[in-house]
Amino acid sequence: MTEPKLPKQAFPSAEQDIDAARLMPDMPQTRSPSYRLAYYDHDFLMRDELFPVRLQLEMIKPELIQQENGISSTRVIFGSTRIPDSDSAKE
């Protein structure tokens, strides 16, 4: 007995969701902000209550970008650097 093949992607991508939302008929209800996809709704994402979600996104974004680029480890050095203005540097 052969195992059924599962789709490569179990859920639609964000782009597929947005494309599906665009197919909704233009009616007063569908023009309401409550019909907008949450991640596609700038006003919703900027609400103060969603600060923890935005913070989480800020933390995971560099992690995902590093994974995409094959970076498996990094070093973080805390400190400060003082860069002189161009006139002082020329002297």
The pLDDT assigned to 5 comes to 74
Whether 37 contacts 21, CB under 8 Å: yes
Write the CB contacts of 54 (distance below 8 Å, at least 6 apart in sequence).
Answer: 45
**Residue range 16-71, pLDDT digits in tens:** 998 998 898 999 988 888 888 898 899 999 999 999 999 999 999 999 999 999 99
| Whole-number pLDDT of residue 10 | 82
- φ and ψ of 38, to 5 deg: -55, -45
pTM: 0.58
As a whole number, mean pLDDT of residues 10-20 equals 89
Q: How far apart, in whole angstroms, are the C-alpha atoms of residue 66 and residue 74?
A: 9
